[in-house]
Amino acid sequence: MIKKASEINETTPWQEMTLGGEIYEGGTSALFNTGDWRTMIPVYHPENCKHCMLCVPYCPDSSIPVVEGKREDFDFMHCKGCGICAKVCPFKAISLEKVGA
Amino acid sequence: MAYSLKQQVSKPERFAGGHRLCAGCGAGLAVRGVLRALKPEDKAVITNATSCLEVSSYLYPYTAWQDSYIHSAFENAGATAGGVEAAYRVLKKKGKINDTFKFIAFGGDGGTYDIGLQSLSGAMERGHDMVYVCYDNEAYMNTGIQRSSSTPRFTDATTTPVGKVIPGKPQNKKDLTAILAAHNIPYVAQTTFIGNFKDFHEKAEKALYTEGPAFLNVMSPCPRGWRYEAEDLAEICKLAVDTCVWPLFEVESGVWKLNYEPKKKLPVEDYLKKQGRFKHMFKAGNEWMIEEAQQFVDEKWESLLARCK
Amino acid sequence: MARKDRMSGNEAVAFAMKQINPDVMGAFPITPSTEIPQYFSTYVANGEVDTEFVAVESEHSAMSTCMAAQAAGGRAITATSSAGMALMWEMLYVTSSARLPVTMALVNRALTGPININNDHSDSMGARDSGWIQLYAETNQEAYDNFVQAMPIGENKEVRLPVMVCQDGFITSHAVENIELLEDETVKKFVGEYEPEHYLLKKENPLAVGPYDISNYYMEHKKQQAEAMKHAKPVILEVARRFEEISGRSYGFFEAFEMEDAEVALVLIGSSAGTAKETVKQLRREGKKVGLVKVRVFRPFPMEELAEALKVVKAVAVMDKAESFSACGGPLFAEVRSALYDLENRPKAINYVYGLGGRDICVEDFAMIYDQLFEIGRTGVAGEIYRHFGQREQEV
C-alpha cells in the first residue's frame, strides 16, 4: 500500500490506496498549487516593510512566511491573491496588482 | 505573558497552504488564529463538522492540517471531539500514550447553530476537555448561501431571497454565544479578526488552556456570501464591532466581561451598506428595515452591557 | 474453566463487555437494549472496568463517540435497538467506510411505526448494506459467544470493519437462561489488545480521517470495503475455530440442523430457530425428512455455502422477520433465493414474512409450513411465493 500523499494520484489502483481515505502525514495540501487561482497578485515592497507582522495572521492561505522575526516574500504557490494583506498593511509595503499586468 | 504578534507568528504554521477555501475566506483566519494559540510542544486532534472548511481542508489525499484530524459528519462535531477526548483519557490512564493533546472542533454556523446544536450542547454538558470553535459566516455557504439560524434579519440568502412580498430573512439572528454561556461551562467567548489579533489570540489561548469545555464564536466573513470585495475583510470585521453588531465579550466561570467598547458606536448602516446581501435595505421605502435592524442591535447591546456590569 | 450461570441475553452481553474491558462506551437508552449500558455503567461505577462511559444525548452521538474513540486508538462499543439504530444510520456508514471496527450490541426490535417495542429484524435488516458485519444469535449463550468473537473478527488487519452482534429483543435479551461463561482471563487473552497501525493519538505521525473523497478516489475506497467484507469470511471461520478451542462450542456461517437427508427446509434467523428445531424434532419422529438452516452471519452473506447446504432439498421456505416492501419478498429471501440460482437442480423457494412487531410463531405453525413445502416438493408448484404469516385474514 502507498503511504505518502505525494505518491497517490488519479492513476493509483485501489489495492495501493490508503484504507478509508486515511492520510498518515500532516500538511499534504502544500503539494497542491492554488497559486493559479489568482487574478490579482500582492507585490511585496521590502523597502517599506517594518516587519510589524500585521499582514501575517490575516492571510487565509498561510502564504506569508516568517523567518527569524521577519516576513519574507509571498508563497506564490498557495497565495490566491485575495488582497486582505495589502489592505491591512499600514506602511504600503504590499500593493495589489492585476496578474500579468 | 504579554501578547506579542511577532512571537506568535514565528511559531511553526499548523495549517498549510494549498487548501481549497475561497480567496479571502474568513475560515482560514479563524483556524490559523486558534492553532497559533497552541503551545508548539502540545499536540492536537482537530474535529471538523462537514462544512466549507472540511471539504476544502481535507480533500483526499491533501490535508491542510499538520495535526491529527477527524471529520465524520455534519451534525456531530461535538460528539466526535468528545469521543476522541474520552479515548485520550482512558489511553492516558492505561499508560498507552504520554503526550499532551488538545481537542479542537471547528464547525460553521450551519453545523453549530442549527444541525449540530444538540451534539454540541451534549458535549459541553458532559464536560469534555475540548474547545468548540464556530466560524460563523451567517449562512450555509458550502451548499450555496442558504439561511441558517445565524443569518441576520433581512439578509438576502438563497432560501430567503428578497421577493415582492418578503424582504429577505424574516427572523433575527440566534444568540448562540449566550446559549453556550447558559451551559455554565468554564469559558465562552465571542471574537473576530480585529487589529493585531490580540483579542482573538487571548481568547483562543484561554479556551485551549482552561480545563473543561470551552466555546469560541468567531465572526468569519464570507466575501462570496456577504457580497463584498475579498480584500475588505478587516474593514468589515472592524465595522461589525464598532456598530456593536458583533460585540467582543467573554464569559469566564459565569462572569460576563465586555472586551471592547467602541469609542463612538457607529450606526448599523455603516456595516450593512458594505455588503451586497443587505443592498435592498437601502432602497427608497425600505428605511424601516434599517431602523428595525438598528433597534435589534441596540437592544442586544444594552442587554449585553447590563450582563457585563 | 468455564462457569455456569443464569442470565438474560442483555446481562450476558454486558458481561462479555466487562470481560473485554473496552476503552470507550458511548450509549443512549432505548428499549430493549437499555439494560446493557445500565449493567455496564454499574461495572464502571464499581471500578470493575477502565472504560470511559460516555452517556450521550442521542444515538447519533453514541455512534459518533464510538467512531471517534476508535479512530483515536481505543476500542469502542455501544448498544442500541430499533429507532435508536435508525438515528445512527448515517454514522453506521461513516464508521464502516472509515474502516473503524466499532462493536455494537444490537437488540433487535421492530423499526417504527407505529411505535412497537417488540422483536423483529427490521432494524438490522435495513442496515444490511451499511458495511457492517452482522452476527445473529438464537440464544443468550450465542449472543455472549458472538460478542466475544466480534472484535477479533472486526479488528483483523485484512478486515477492519465494524461488527453488529444481534439478538432478539425481549425473547433473548430479557429471558433468563442457563449460560456457560468463559473465565475473564480466557476472554482477555482471546480478544487480545487493540493495536491499530495508525490512530489519531499516535506519537510518531498524525492521522487524518474522513476526507472529502472526490469521484477520482471514491470508487477505489468502496472497492476496498467490498474486498474487506470478502476477507471477513475466512476470518470469521478462523475466529470460530479458535473460539471452539476455548469454549467447546462450534460456530460457522450458519447452523445446518438435520439437513443431511432433508427433503424440505426452513431458513431463518434468530430465536425462532428454537421453536423451529422443536418442530423438526417432532416431525422427524413422524419420519418426515425436514431440516433447518439458522443463519448466524448475514454480512458477509455466505452465498456458496448456503447453496451447498440447500442443494439437497426439494423445497425451502425462507422466513423473514422483516418486511422490505419490495412487493416480492423479504431481505433474507432475496439473498437466499439468489444463492440458489447457480444450482443445477435448485429447490423451489417460497418466502414467509412473519413475527413482525413481536407476533408469535409456534411449533404448529412451522409444522404447517413444512407440510406446504412437502406439497410444493410433490407437485413442483410453488404458487404465490411472497407470503405473510400470522396476521388475521378475512375469510374468503
| Sign of torsion over alpha carbons B7, B8, B11, B16 | negative
* pLDDT exceeds 80 at position A16: yes
Chain B residues near residue C72 by CB distance under 8 angstroms: 45, 83-84, 87-88, 91
Cβ–Cβ contact C211 with A under 8 A: yes
With beta carbons under 8 A apart, name residues in chain C contacting B60: 211-214, 217
DSSP class of residue C164 equals: E
Nearest CA in chain B to A30: B18
| Pick from C84, C92, C89: nearest CA to C162 | C92
In this complex, the residue of C205, C209, C224 whose CB is nearest that of residue A17 is: C224
pLDDT tier for residue C2 given thresholds of 50, 70 and 90: confident
Q: Which residue has the cell 481515505?
A: A21
pLDDT digits (tens, 9 = 90+) for A62-99: 999 999 999 999 999 999 999 999 999 999 999 999 99
Nearest CB neighbour to C97, from listed A13, A20, A25:
A20
Query: What are the grid coordinates assigned to B243, written together?
Result: 456598530
Average predicted confidence (pLDDT) for chain B: 98
pLDDT at C396: 79
In 3D, which of B48, C205, C219, B73 has the Cα closest to residue A23? C205
Contact C60, B82 (CB under 8 A): no
Q: How many Å apart are CA B219 and CA B202, to the nearest integer?
A: 16
Does A34 contact B20 at a Cβ distance shorter than 8 Å? yes
Task: Return left, alpha or beta for B44; rule: phi > 0 is left, psi -120 to 50 is alpha, else beta.
Answer: beta
Tens digit of each residue's pLDDT (9 = 90 or more) over B4-62: 999 999 999 999 999 999 999 999 999 999 999 999 999 999 999 999 999 999 999 99
Q: Which residue has the cell 424434532?
A: C281
Distance from C-alpha of B144 to C-alpha of B26, rounded to nearest angstrom: 16
> For C211, which of A12, A21, A25 is closest by C-beta distance?
A21
Q: From the CA of B166, how many Å to the nearest CA of chain A?
A: 34
Mean pLDDT of A49-61: 98
Residue B19: predicted pLDDT: 98
Question: C136: which strand partners?
Answer: C166
Give the model confidence (pLDDT) of B60-92 as tens digits.
999 999 999 999 999 999 999 999 999 999 999
**C-alpha cell belonging to residue C132:** 457492517
Predicted local distance difference test score (pLDDT) of residue A61:
98
Q: Is C92 touching B (CB cutoff 8 A)?
A: no
Residue with cell 507585490: A43
- Flag whether pLDDT at B187 surpasses 70: yes
- What ranges make up the beta strands (E) of C207-328? 208-209, 254-257, 264-269, 290-295, 297-299, 315-320
Residues 6+ apart with CB under 8 A from C120: C108, C109, C110, C321, C322, C355, C356, C357, C358
Pairwise CA distance, residues C354 & C323, whole Å: 9
Is B62 within 8 Å of A32 when comparing Cβ atoms?
yes
Q: Strand B249-252 to strand B187-191: parallel, antiparallel, or no bridges (unpaired)?
A: antiparallel
Closest-CA residue of A relative to B17 is A61
Outline where DSSP puts E strands in B120-276. 131-136, 187-191, 214-219, 249-252, 255-258
CA–CA distance, B35 with B28 (Å, rounded to integer): 11
Q: Give B163's contacts (C-beta < 8 A, 6+ positions apart).
A: none
pLDDT value, residue A100: 82
How much is the average pLDDT of B170-185? 98
Q: How far is A87 from chain C (nearest CA, A)?
A: 33
Which DSSP string do the residues of B257-269 spell out, in sequence order? EE----SSPPPHH
C-chain residue closest to B115, CA distance:
C60
At residue C113, the pLDDT reads 87
Q: How many CB atoms lie within 10 A of CB B186?
A: 18
Cβ–Cβ below 8 Å for A82 and B23: yes
Residue B303, classed as helix, strand or coil, is helix
Cell of B299: 437592544
Mutate to test the interface with A, among C94, C197, C217 (most CBs of A within 10 A): C217
Q: Which of residues 60-79 of A touch B (CB under 8 A)?
A: 60-63, 66, 68-69, 75, 77-79
How many Cα atoms within 13 Å fall on the side-chain side of residue C100?
32
pLDDT mean over B140-162: 98
Angle at C264 between CA C298 and CA C350, to 5 degrees: 60
Chain C residue numbers with beta carbons less than 8 Å from the beta carbon of B125 are 57
- Cis check: omega of the bond before C114, within 30 degrees of 0: yes
Q: Which of residues 25-54 of A touch C (CB under 8 A)?
A: 25-26
A22 touches C97 (CB < 8 A): no
Angle (CA) C245 C246 C250, round 5°: 60
Contact A53 B9 (CB under 8 A): yes
Report the SS3 class of residue C369. helix
- The reply to whether A52 touches chain B by the CB within 8 Å rule is yes
Given a contact cutoff of 8 angstroms between Cβ atoms, the answer to whether B43 and B211 are in contact is: no
The three state secondary structure string of C45-103 is HCCCCCCEEEECCCHHHHHHHHHHHHHHCCCEEEEECHHHHHHHHHHHHHHHHCCCCCE
Q: How high is the pLDDT of residue C88?
A: 98
Reduced to 3 states (helix: H, G, I; strand: E, B; else coil), residue C241 is: helix
pLDDT of C221 over the 90 cut: yes
Dist CA C129 CA C85 (whole Å): 14
CB contact under 8 A, B24 and A80: yes
> Rounded to 5 degrees, what angle do the CA atoms A84, A89, A94 make?
80
Stretch A22-37: mean pLDDT? 97
The arithmetic mean of pLDDT across residues C304-311, rounded, is 98
pLDDT, residue C57, reads 98
Residues of chain C neighbouring B86 (CB-CB closer than 8 A): 24, 26, 52, 54, 65, 69, 74
Cβ of residue B289 closer than 8 Å to a chain A Cβ: no
A18 touches chain B (CB under 8 A): yes
Cβ distance B44 to B38 under 8 Å?
A: yes
pLDDT for the residue numbered B202: 98
The mean predicted confidence, pLDDT, of chain A is 96
Query: Do C221 and A24 lie within an 8 Å CB cutoff?
Result: no
Share of chain C above pLDDT 90, in %: 98
Top pLDDT among C212 and C112 is at: C212
Mean pLDDT over C192-210 rounds to 97
For chain C, the C-alpha Rg in angstroms (whole number) is: 21
> pLDDT band at residue A1, thresholds of 50, 70 and 90?
confident
Checking if the pLDDT of B247 tops 80, the result is yes
* Burial C157-195, CB ≥16 within 10 A → b, else e: eebbbbbbbbbbbbbbbbeeeebebbeeebbeebbeebe
Q: List Cα–Cα distances, B249 to B105, B246, B290, B308, in angstroms.
A: 20, 9, 25, 9
Inform me whether the pLDDT recorded for B1 exceeds 80.
Answer: no
The answer to whether A97 touches A40, Cβ cutoff 8 Å, is yes
CB contact under 8 A, C207 and A23: yes
CB-based contact A62 B15, cutoff 8 Å: yes
Tell whether A12 is within 8 A of chain C (Cβ).
yes
Residue B152's pLDDT band (cuts 50, 70, 90): very high
Mean pLDDT of all residues in C203-220 = 97
Which residue matches cell numbers 476526507? C211
Whether pLDDT at B210 is above 70: yes
Over residues C48-62, mean pLDDT = 98
pLDDT digits (tens, 9 = 90+) for C10-41: 999 999 999 999 999 999 999 999 999 999 99
Closest-approach residue (CA) in chain A for B22: A80
Residue A13 sits at the chain C interface (C-beta within 8 Å): yes
C148-169 pLDDT, tens digit each: 999 999 999 999 999 999 999 9
How far is A25 from chain C, CA to nearest CA, in Å?
5
- Which residue of chain A has the CA closest to B231? A84
Chain C residues with CB inside 8 Å of B90's CB? 23-24, 50-52, 74
User: Cβ(C268)–Cβ(C294) under 8 Å?
Assistant: yes
Model confidence at A101: pLDDT above 90: no
pLDDT tens for residues C65-91? 999 999 999 999 999 999 999 999 999
Q: How many CA atoms lie within 13 A of C285 on its CB side?
A: 6
> Cell 422443536 appears where?
C278
Closest Cβ opposite residue A28 in set B5, B27, B62: B62
